[in-house]
Structure 1
């Protein structure tokens, strides 16, 4: 299932070249991904942190194809994938699209860890919601 949110490039994110600084693309993807995790997976970062469960990124790859400009309205998408090897990882394929053109694409990988330290895992509440998710073939 593809999830999406719409944003507008903020003036303070525009650099001297009049394009959005590359630093901010992952932030917009994070906003969308966190909303997906909260709304669809039912995992609230603040509540779960208080319960001793941290959801963290373990890596990401990103490709910049075109640049966003001041005031551009754009859509950020997020699609969840399970791990091919059955590891306790969540993979999120994400894109930024503006005027029906692909601007940026990325894959973010995350997992959960106990706040007290320990091995990565996915809580049962998350596992039950991802049973039908496709597997990331990468």
Structure 2
């Protein structure tokens, strides 16, 4: 299932060239991904952190294709993929779209870890949803 949210470029994210600074594209993806995790996966990151479970990123790859500019309204998408090796990881395929064209695309991978330390894992509620997700072959 692809999940999307609409955003508008914030003025403070514009650099001296008049485009969005590369640092902020992952933030827009994070806003969307966190809403997806809560609304679709049913995992409340803040609540789980209070319970001692942290969802963390382990890596990401991002490709910048076009720049966003001041005032642009754009869409960010997020979809879930499972790990091809069956590891306790989840992968998120994300894109930023402007006027029907991809400006930025990324794969972000993560897992859950106990706040007190310990091995990575996925909660049962997420494992069930990952079973139905396409496999990430990367």
- TM-score (structure 2 length as normaliser): 0.98
How far apart, in 2, do the equivalents of 1:2 and 1:88 lie?
A: 21
Partner of residue 112, structure 1: 112
How far apart, in 2, do the equivalents of 1:85 and 1:9 lie?
A: 37
Partner of residue 21, structure 1: 21
Q: How many residues align?
A: 138
Instruction: Give the C-alpha shift of residue 130 in structure 1.
Output: 2.0
Cα RMSD of the aligned pairs, angstroms, is 0.6
- TM-score (structure 1 length as normaliser): 0.98
Gaps spanning 5+ residues in structure 1: where? none
Answer whether contact 2:90 2:130 (CA < 8 A) is retained: no
How far apart, in 1, do the equivalents of 2:133 and 2:5 lie?
A: 20
How far apart, in 2, do the equivalents of 1:52 and 1:15 lie?
A: 38
Post-superposition Cα deviations, 1:35-55, rounded to whole Å, max 9, x if no partner, equal 000000110011101111100
Instruction: Give the C-alpha shift of residue 82 in structure 1.
Output: 0.3
Q: SS of the counterpart of 1:15?
A: coil
Q: SS of the counterpart of 2:136?
A: coil
Asked if 1:75 corresponds to 2:75, the answer is yes
How far apart, in 1, do the equivalents of 2:16 and 2:97 lie?
A: 22
Asked if 1:134 corresponds to 2:126, the answer is no
Gaps spanning 5+ residues in structure 2: where? none
Partner of residue 47, structure 1: 47
Asked if 1:59 corresponds to 2:55, the answer is no
Partner of residue 5, structure 1: 5
